[in-house]
Amino acid sequence: MAYFMVTAGIILLLGAVVIREMVQQSKRRKAFRQSLYDRFGEKPQHKYTVENSQHIPGYYTRHPEDGQIDDITWNDLNMDEIYRRINYSLSATGEEYLYYLLRSPRKDRIGLQHFEQLVDWFTKHADDRVDMQMQLRELGYTGKHSLYDYIENLDALGERRNWKHHLMNAMYLPFLALAPFYFSVAVAGISVLGIWQIVSYFKDKRMMEPYIISFAYIMRLINSCEKICGMQIPSCQTEFNVMRECIQKMKGIRRGSFWVFTASDSRTSGNPLELILDYLRMMFHVDLIIFNRMVKQLRLHVEDTDRLIAQAGLLEAAISVSWFRASLTEGYCLPEFTDCEGHAELLMEEGYHVMLEHPVKNGIHADKGVLLTGSNASGKSTFLKMTAVNALLAQTVHTCAAKTYRAPFYRIYSSMALRDDLAGGESYYIVEIKALKRILDAVQDGQRVLCFVDEVLRGTNTVERIAASTQILKSLSGQNVLCVAATHDIELTELLKAEFDNYHFEEEIKDGDISFAYRLMEGKATTRNAIRLLELIGYSEEITENAFMSANHFMSTGVWKA
């Protein structure tokens, strides 16, 4: 009697612990759900490390397309920072697809119009947005690797056959048949066979375990998409139809998956039932048999898995963009795309850089090349990046940090923040001319190009720089290309006045201090501040005065004097 009372007490205590954990989990879930309402419009709170960022390019690297943003332009524009500013995803699928989206500018309005419908719906329907986010949160992450890394490594498993497992399981039957007549022989035979099965189980199990994460993620993907398809969202019906089609084809993957995904937890949970199930796995290889079948099924449905990832990723990317727009306190606009055949133009009013806390807004209307001059630190590079980023966001997430943006669809390139290639043994100049060559090649191929160049050929001497820069920039002018270039070489403003409009930034020096308005102004720069900055920083009067005299002498005579 006392034994049963103790047992009943333990069961009640365990039940109370389980119920308490379920209540706490429910409270945490409700609190997180409420936070999705309350934090809408705040900046992202993700913390990025090497470990949790490694998977992000996964979808992009497996889906190369013509016209994607190359590494030079991506790095020039600090697009990793822009990505983190836009990313509000709660799953690896959403993070990877958003990255792919930002590196894959659209070439027509069709995809952008549908994407805008999704973003608009999630912006206006908070309950649908939060319900979708809660489902995608259940999808979660795959660890430091992309799901595609695991899928591509399926070949390393080789051909997975179950006949040997079925054969060994069948050998239990003769011993069971002997049990009524030769019990001790039957027990000995079953014991030896069981030990053999357990030893071979752990050998195969070690090979299987690295793939459990990816298989579990695919199961969550299927389950999450199945629940998402039950939502009543008219704008998402295209995605829902694709999801339903893929889920129907992949239903065989889920059959018996319980045995595989509970195996990794059973030895640490302490649950008696799970321990019993674990022994059954070891004795009969149930999870290995089901795992092998799942591998076969997944190999048949890699394309369907990819389509599910794309649909779920697109929906979560649209939610991220709705959050991003709500967080832009300086405002945003939807881009307008023009059909100007054989003509390049760009109109932007009150544009700003999304990474600046207190931006100075600038606008420009260009129907031919733009040459920017101005003092050091006056705002030229920031303007280049601001314009390029907005052009890229217009063609990827249909959002611009501006009052107005109007332009045709472009191939976007830049040559800005280049460095020596020490590993490749190439100087800065070689790296720079290769970067410019790829832009010239795109123009010669007949593509409509929008390009941004900061300090053309800064890696070589003055005479050759001006001569070569003039010819390169002339080649980047014309009907099919719009080039925005910044330079300190004031000579280019005269040499290129027929091909480029001149704009500049300037500074104000007052009471021994220098200030910048960061306002774009028409015409070429008429002031210089490099030597004055030396003076303000505290360089000796001898250095600064002699430098002024040397510069003035050159400007008046064209001859340098030391």
Same domain, 501 and 366: yes
Count of domains observed in the chain: 3
Nearest Cα to Cα of residue 344 among 501, 496, 439, 481: 481
Whether the per-residue pLDDT at 413 is higher than 90: the answer is yes
Q: Give the pLDDT band of residue 354 (cuts 50, 70, 90).
A: very high
- Between CA 102 and CA 445 the distance in angstroms is 24
- Does some domain include residue 480? yes
Same domain, 246 and 349: no
Give me the pLDDT at residue 282, please: 81
Same domain, 90 and 234: no
Whether the per-residue pLDDT at 168 is higher than 90: the answer is no
Give me the pLDDT at residue 235, please: 93
Q: Give the pLDDT band of residue 421 (cuts 50, 70, 90).
A: low
User: Is the CB of residue 90 less than 8 Å from the CB of residue 391?
Assistant: no
- Does some domain include residue 226? yes
Q: Give the pLDDT band of residue 272 (cuts 50, 70, 90).
A: low
Give me the pLDDT at residue 94, please: 96
Stretch 383-392: mean pLDDT: 97
- Between CA 235 and CA 318 the distance in angstroms is 11
Q: What is the mean pLDDT of the chain?
A: 85
- Between CA 547 and CA 37 the distance in angstroms is 60
User: Is the CB of residue 439 less than 8 Å from the CB of residue 449?
Assistant: yes
- Between CA 288 and CA 273 the distance in angstroms is 19
User: Is the CB of residue 261 less than 8 Å from the CB of residue 219?
Assistant: yes
Nearest Cα to Cα of residue 115 among 98, 138, 96, 133: 98
Q: Pull the structure tokens for residue 527.
A: 């002031």
Same domain, 115 and 239: no
Same domain, 295 and 347: no
The alpha carbon dihedral of 109, 111, 116, 117 has a sign of positive
- Between CA 91 and CA 85 the distance in angstroms is 16
**Boundary residue ending a domain (327, 360, 386):** 327
- Does some domain include residue 539? no
- Between CA 500 and CA 196 the distance in angstroms is 81
Stretch 348-373: mean pLDDT: 94
The position carrying tokens 């398809």 is 229
Nearest Cα to Cα of residue 98 among 370, 393, 528: 393
Whether the per-residue pLDDT at 518 is higher than 90: the answer is no
User: Is the CB of residue 73 less than 8 Å from the CB of residue 413?
Assistant: yes
Nearest Cα to Cα of residue 473 among 487, 488, 459: 487
Whether the per-residue pLDDT at 57 is higher than 90: the answer is yes
Same domain, 160 and 299: yes
Non-local (6+) Cβ contacts of 91 within 8 A are 136, 137, 139, 140, 141, 312, 316
Helix (H, G, I), strand (E, B) or coil at 349: strand
Please give the backbone phi and psi of residue 373, each rounded to the nearest 5 degrees, phi first: -125, 170
User: Is the CB of residue 435 less than 8 Å from the CB of residue 72?
Assistant: yes
Apex 388 CA angle, 387 and 391, nearest 5: 85
Same domain, 280 and 319: no
- Does some domain include residue 7? no
User: Is the CB of residue 443 less than 8 Å from the CB of residue 481?
Assistant: yes
What proportion of the chain, given as a percentage, has pLDDT over 90?
44
- Does some domain include residue 37? no
Domain harbouring 491, CATH code: 3.40.50.300
- Does some domain include residue 512? no
One-letter identity of residue 162: N
Non-local (6+) Cβ contacts of 468 within 8 A are 457, 460
Q: Give the pLDDT band of residue 425 (cuts 50, 70, 90).
A: low
Whether the per-residue pLDDT at 350 is higher than 90: the answer is yes
Note the pTM of the prediction, 2 decimals.
0.87
Please, which residues bridge with residue 407 across strands? Answer: 337
Stretch 144-170: mean pLDDT: 79
Tally Cβ neighbours within 10 Å of residue 483. 28
Same domain, 48 and 126: yes
Whether the per-residue pLDDT at 562 is higher than 90: the answer is no
- Between CA 255 and CA 296 the distance in angstroms is 13
**Boundary residue ending a domain (457, 477, 506):** 506
- Does some domain include residue 371? yes
As a residue count, the chain comes to 562
Q: Give the pLDDT band of residue 268 (cuts 50, 70, 90).
A: very low
Same domain, 282 and 344: no
Same domain, 319 and 388: no
- Between CA 402 and CA 348 the distance in angstroms is 7
Non-local (6+) Cβ contacts of 259 within 8 A are 277, 281, 286, 287, 290
User: Is the CB of residue 383 less than 8 Å from the CB of residue 503?
Assistant: no
Same domain, 375 and 241: no
Same domain, 386 and 361: yes
Domain that holds residue 196: 147-312
User: Is the CB of residue 418 less than 8 Å from the CB of residue 432?
Assistant: yes
Query: pLDDT for 308-339, tens place per residue?
Result: 999 999 999 999 999 999 999 999 999 999 98
Whether the per-residue pLDDT at 111 is higher than 80: the answer is yes
Query: pLDDT for 458-474, tens place per residue?
Result: 767 778 888 888 999 99
- Does some domain include residue 72? yes
**Boundary residue ending a domain (312, 347, 371):** 312
Q: Pull the structure tokens for residue 185.
A: 């022989």
- Between CA 499 and CA 66 the distance in angstroms is 29
